Chain A
Amino acid sequence: MKILSKTLNKINIFLENNPKITIYFPQFLIILVLTIIISYFSLNASTNMAARGIETGFAFLKNKASFDIQFSLIEFDSNDSYARAYLVGLLNTLLVSGIGIFFATVIGFFVGIIRLSTNILASKVAEAYIEIFRNIPLLLQIFFWYFAVLRLLPSSENSLILFDFVFANIKGIYVPRFVWTNFNFLTYGLVVSILAIYIFRFYSKKKQDLTGVQVPTFTTSLIIFVVINLLFIIIGNVGLSLTYPVLETNRGIHNYSGGVSVIPELIALAFSLSLYTSTFIAECVRAGILGIDKGQKEAAASIGLSKSQILKLIVIPQALRIIIPPVTNQYLNLTKKFIFSSRNCLPRYCFSFCWYCVDANWQSNRNCLDYDAYILNFKYINFTVYELV
């Protein structure tokens, strides 16, 4: 023991006399260990891959994909390349994340505000909603909606009909497709009305600065919007007609055609993702609103702002400042969670960033670096979402 403590002491003294060693030695050690580990693994990998005949690289992107994707926003068939399959996956990811983010935000804000309601029953119901949906694993929720609820829908020939234009059956939900005539005029109308509202707001603000008289901005903007759009619709003769989905029977197989079809996988995913994420957003919203100091409201009231003005000018701007960062995180989580869910629940629909391509590749065991491509791609989206928000 004595010898040990003596040597330890000596080492300590030596280190104190040479402070550079304590700085450089651990760093050097880490670099050394990292190099050894990485070279060991890559050596193994290269011998193993050579033995199994696995190629690496991104050349496979040009190869023929030779599989089908059931749901794609752009045209895709099995003769297209892997690169295009990835693009389909990317678009599908963006679609479902977009839907999920939209509904999660709406439901989340709604529930978060209800949670703070003075009505005890309402706030308890909101609390129960939050606790239930956030304490059940997302995967389980997806399975529940997909395998337990949507499978209960009837078959195509006797499908559920809501309001005479929504048809729900086990193959999905069918809604009419909008067919516009002279759609351009409507877009012109939108652009012109938005411009007009901007100009109006600019002048009303100027007037308020000069004279202190307030113009009712919101109502006037609404009137401008409606009037200009109506004018454009009438002038341009914009028409809207609906193509209804029609039940067709082909060799005993019933199917709906025409209209827009939403496949059950998409519904289950969008549903569970938005419900799950909305609970977290609701909590963020609640924290944000509670985070506003009471003095802020009192101060605003004491300088004579009305109740709605307090909410609009004082509470919401400050609350949003607290709410936005965590909610952005939740959006990212939603996108990330989406990736796993799609792989499990939607085997053949290439919803995510093309799990299916990856799977197909693994089965034929050709390209093991698809995974890396996948991860790279994913990271890329992740960062773009960060930068966008």
Chain B
Amino acid sequence: MNLVNWTRKNLFSNWHDTLLTFIILFLFYISIPPLLSWMFFDATFFGTSKKDCSGTGACWVFIQVWLKRFTYGMYPNDQIWRIDLAFIIFFFVIGAYFFVNTKIKKILFIFLTIIFPFLAIFLFHGGLFGLEEVETRVWGGLFLTLFISVFSIIFCFPIGVLLAMGRRSKLPVIRYFSIGFIELWRGVPLITVLFMAAVMFPVFLPSGTNLDKLVRVIIAITLFESAYIAEVIRGGLQAIPKGQYDAANSLGMGYWKSHILIILPQALKIVIPGVANTFIALFKDTPLILVVGLMELLGMVNMAKTNPAWLGLATEGYVFAAIVYFIFCFAMSRYSLRLEKQLKTSN
């Protein structure tokens, strides 16, 4: 009885609702069965080459064979454990973060933001303490996507905080410098920035010096995103009531002391969802590094589909990449929504 009431209320409450329901059901009927049979029932999952595919459904053999390349790029097979190790540490620390008390949380946070980046770079690049050196041009796949987005966000955060403070500063030179910097990067599309970093930047360095392309790209993305982060953080700073500033001043705190101890902790808490959104946008923009010749997940898929032995499997590759990106972005957006709700109730 309950179910009948529920359907009557939510699906068939009046004639146009009923019509809408039937139209949607009809669309489901014509679109979902072929999609499912393509993806699962007629699909080939296991095999070693394109010949194993039966032909009617999707050929997931393509993904299965290329999965290692999609995940790690052209990284040497016997060195892959280094990437795995770094990511296991990363996810372990993040997982542990939710279960420990505040004191250990602080230590973990410092470890993640200050020590871990260097550890990860050492593990990925090698060249020290007997680890074999792996050049950045063979890095790729999902690993590179995560590397670039995580590192850019870590580096751009402090710059963004400084820029946001600079934009609200009373000193005209600092204020106009911050405004100019932020508006310059916001007015230019990311692809231009990447191109400048990849092609133009060497012109500005003394001849003979050569900065790694990946480093240049990360610097470019960091500067680009720091402008966006700065605007998000500025929103947080503006949301702090003036009384907080006055109270800090009346306690005899200077500019830096009041910001570090009073203003920023509150402001950063407010802007967590905004920062998360910026991070999702950054993550979705990483495929762009394709233009400067770095092969992250989408780049690897693009490369694999032009392989003569695997022609005509573009759809499978893109569907796979889309699912991977979707999982990451969707999880992050849901997490940021949850954080937003938590913060709302706590205030």
Contact = CB atoms under 8 A, between A and B. Distances in A.
A and B from one complex: yes
Interface of A: 23, 26-27, 30-31, 34, 41-42, 44-45, 47-49, 51, 54, 117-122, 125, 131-132, 134-141, 143-144, 147-149, 151, 336-337, 339-340, 343-344, 362, 368, 371, 374-375, 378-379, 382-383
Contacts of A143: 298, 302, 314, 318
A375 B191 CA distance: 11
A338 to B, nearest CB: 9
A37 to B, nearest CB: 10
A340 B288 contact: yes
Contact of B191 (A54, A135, A339, A368): A339
Given A34-B177, A44-B205, A121 B11 contact: yes
B200 interface: yes
The 9 A-B residue pairs whose C-beta atoms are closest, nearest first, are A340-B191, A27-B173, A135-B329, A120-B10, A148-B315, A41-B204, A137-B284, A144-B318, A139-B287
A362 B199 CA distance: 9
Contacts of B333: 135
B118 interface: no
B322 interface: yes
A336 B11 CA distance: 40
Contact of B24 (A26, A45, A125): A125
B45 interface: no
A139 to B, nearest CB: 4
A140 B199 contact: no
B114 to A, nearest CB: 23
B10 A119 contact: yes
A340 B191 CA distance: 6
B13 A118 contact: yes
A389 B165 CA distance: 30
Interface string B303-325: 00100000000110011011001
Nearest to B173: A27
* Dominant SS among interface residues on chain A: helix
30 contacts: A23-B171, A26-B171, A27-B173, A30-B174, A44-B207, A48-B205, A51-B207, A118-B17, A119-B21, A121-B10, A121-B25, A122-B20, A131-B330, A135-B326, A136-B322, A136-B329, A137-B325, A143-B314, A144-B322, A148-B318, A339-B189, A339-B191, A339-B192, A340-B190, A362-B199, A371-B192, A371-B199, A374-B192, A378-B189, A379-B187
Contact of A49 (B21, B25, B171, B203): B203
A234 B190 CA distance: 54
Nearest to B16: A119
B147 interface: no
A337 B284 CA distance: 12
B212 interface: no
A121 B21 CA distance: 7
Contacts of A379: 187-188
Contacts of A134: 329
Given A30-B174, A151-B314, A119 B17 contact: yes
Nearest to B298: A140
A151 B329 CA distance: 28
Contacts of B173: 27, 30-31
A138 B290 contact: no
A59 B252 CA distance: 59
Nearest to A12: B254
A117 B105 CA distance: 44
Given A119-B17, A121-B21, A140-B322, A27 B188 contact: no
Size class of the B contact interface (CB-based, 8 Å): 35 or more
A48 B203 contact: yes
Contacts of A374: 192
Interface string B16-40: 0100110011000000000000000
A362 B254 CA distance: 52
B67 interface: no
Contacts of B24: 121-122, 125
Contacts of B315: 144, 148-149
B14 to A, nearest CB: 9
B95 interface: no
A138 B284 contact: yes
B52 interface: no
A149 B280 CA distance: 27
Contacts of B172: 27
B83 interface: no
Contacts of A27: 171-174
Contacts of B20: 117, 119, 121-122
A344 B203 contact: no
B325 A136 contact: yes
Nearest to B333: A135
Interface centre among A31, A147, A362 (most CB of B within 10 A): A147
B132 interface: no
B84 interface: no
B291 A343 contact: yes
Contacts of B66: none
A45 B333 CA distance: 43
Contacts of B120: none
A121 B9 CA distance: 12
Nearest to B332: A135
A300 B333 CA distance: 37
B206 interface: yes
A257 B203 CA distance: 47
B21 to A, nearest CB: 5
Nearest to B317: A148
Contacts of A131: 330
B285 interface: yes
Contact of A147 (B284, B305, B319): B305
Interface string B275-289: 000001000111110
